[in-house]
Amino acid sequence: MGIRRAVVAGGDSPIGVALATALTTAGYEVVRTSRRSQNSAADPKVHPLDFLTLDGLESLPNADWTFIVASETRFSECLRDPDRSGQINHVAPVEIGKTQASKGGRVFFFSSIAVHDGSHEDPAETDVPEPNTLYGRQKRDAELGLLDAGIDPVLLRPAKVVIPQFSLFEQWRCAMLSAQAVTPFSDMVVAPIWLETLIDICVRLIATPAASGVYQASAADQISYLEMARNIAAFDGIDPEILVPTKASDVLPEETRWLPDYATMSCGRLESDIGFERPSSLDAVNHYLRTSA
């Protein structure tokens, strides 16, 4: 069998870096892309590609799998410049997908739980998404564009992904250790998954010949940011009284916040196709704590 190649389009984010490492371990020759010329100039395995201009797309190497990872993930930035964020989150993924598929490869798009409106528990992969944020609509439009292109994409909708050195948790711990108050949100819930769990799903999916269409990955239960902070304080032996429960609905502007009632998703397709079992929310928090101890 010849060498298999994977392109990670948007290889500078923590998810992109972890994915590239795992694909290399799985035996792929991996090309990452970056919009930053200093990164592509310094490393021949990094190809220049800006999702805004699509400069670099024509010369992007063909690949067995192209992972479309880069995104404008900040809700506030999406709203500040809808054209720019629409180009990055919707137009570019579809163009990259079509271009890479026309060279004979498969396409794997990182969508988001934000395609759902969070109004009911465990939405299924087959439910028609009704996003209630601009970011969610852009991701939904990219999904539709890729599906309509007839290129048999894999679309993965992850819930919140917790990574090593997750900056919010690091800030909380720093503040708590210096006896400063921490104000975690009590009304913002997530059903987080650990970075390695997400990466394992990706690697297992592309090893599954029948993998195709929409997949969702979340924990089995949801947890508020306040509850996560309480677990972190307990791990560090800090009195939870230092936590000041705060309502995101009181402090975040309405247009830039997303406060779903429900954060879990049905993961039935991952369960049947790769034997995925939804972890608990605390699994992600505990992995973070173990790796950063």
Ligand X SMILES: NC(=O)c1ccc[n+]([C@@H]2O[C@H](COP(=O)([O-])OP(=O)(O)OC[C@H]3O[C@@H](n4cnc5c(N)ncnc54)[C@H](OP(=O)(O)O)[C@@H]3O)[C@@H](O)[C@H]2O)c1
Using the minimum distance from each CB to ligand X, give the nearer residue, 199 or 238: 199
Whole-number minimum distance, CB 253 to ligand X, in Å? 20
Are 257 and 248 spatial neighbours (Cβ–Cβ below 8 Å)?
yes
Chain position carrying tokens 């402090």:
251
Using the minimum distance from each CB to ligand X, give the nearer residue, 10 or 238: 10
Are 220 and 244 spatial neighbours (Cβ–Cβ below 8 Å)?
no
Using the minimum distance from each CB to ligand X, give the nearer residue, 221 or 242: 221
Using the minimum distance from each CB to ligand X, give the nearer residue, 105 or 136: 136
- Distance, in Å, from the CA atom of 281 to the CA atom of 223, rounded to the nearest integer, reads 6
Whole-number minimum distance, CB 33 to ligand X, in Å? 7
- Distance, in Å, from the CA atom of 238 to the CA atom of 242, rounded to the nearest integer, reads 8
Whole-number minimum distance, CB 161 to ligand X, in Å? 4
Return the exposure string of 208-223: e unless at least 16 CB atoms fall within 10 Å of the residue's CB, then b: eeebeebbbbbbeebb
- Distance, in Å, from the CA atom of 209 to the CA atom of 150, rounded to the nearest integer, reads 17
Whole-number minimum distance, CB 56 to ligand X, in Å? 9
Whole-number minimum distance, CB 23 to ligand X, in Å? 15
Could you please report the per-residue DSSP string of 135-201?
HHHHHHHHHHHHHHTTS--EEEEE--EE-TT-HHHHHHHHHHHTT--B--BSS-EE--EEHHHHHHH
Using the minimum distance from each CB to ligand X, give the nearer residue, 88 or 243: 88
Q: Is 220 helix (H, G, I), strand (E, B) or coil?
A: coil
- In whole angstroms, what separates CA 81 from the centre of its chain? 21
Using the minimum distance from each CB to ligand X, give the nearer residue, 10 or 105: 10
Whole-number minimum distance, CB 167 to ligand X, in Å? 10
| Site residues (vs ligand X, CB under 6 A) | 10, 12-15, 35-36, 50-52, 69-73, 88, 110, 112, 158, 160-161
